Amino acid sequence: MTPNILMTRIDNRLVHGQVGVTWANTLAANLVIVANDDVATDDVQQQLMKMVLPDTIGIRFFTIERTSQIIDKAAPHQKIFIVVKTPQDVLRLLENGVQLEQVNIGNMHYKEGKKQVAPTVSVDDADIEVFKKIKEFNVDLFVQGIPGEKKQDIFNLI
């Protein structure tokens, strides 16, 4: 059985108001999976993210490896929205057998050595190489901050 993954989003901030309310509701998700090795063991960050979501949406925190191991066990009624911190997290999911159709690049903070390619997305050469590897899995990679914005193919921006 293929899990019902609605979308995967790269967001340095993981779950915050824009992700927890706007995106989850627009997608009609009933489960948010935060796939991140650090947050999987950080109770404080988990509690803060749980506070953002309405009671009608469940949230789980797993390492990348654990997500890969259990995603195929998802129940058919689960409408899953996966949130990761980096493009590298997405690539690891794919390499571990998780089937993703589309990845929303929502927020990648600017820092020294990165170039801004969209208002909330900054990348370096390593990120671009990872995007190319993700594309080899036939994944649609697009930048879209909020649901009402037009999707932009990342390869048209870099």
Residue-wise pLDDT for 55-114, tens only, equals: 899 999 999 999 999 999 999 999 999 999 999 999 999 999 999 999 999 999 999 999
Q: Are 23 and 105 in contact (CB under 8 A)?
A: no
Res. 152 pLDDT band, cuts 50 70 90 = very high
Task: Spell out the residues 6+ positions from residue 126 whose beta carbon is closer than 8 angstroms to its own.
Answer: none
Mark whether 109 is an active-site residue.
no
Q: Are 158 and 87 in contact (CB under 8 A)?
A: no
* Catalytic residue from among 4, 12, 13, 16: 16
User: Could you give all domains of the chain from N- to C-terminal order, each with its CATH number?
Assistant: 5-157 (3.40.35.10)
β-pairing, 121-123 vs 115-118, is: antiparallel
- Measure the CA–CA gap between 73 and 78, rounded to whole angstroms: 10
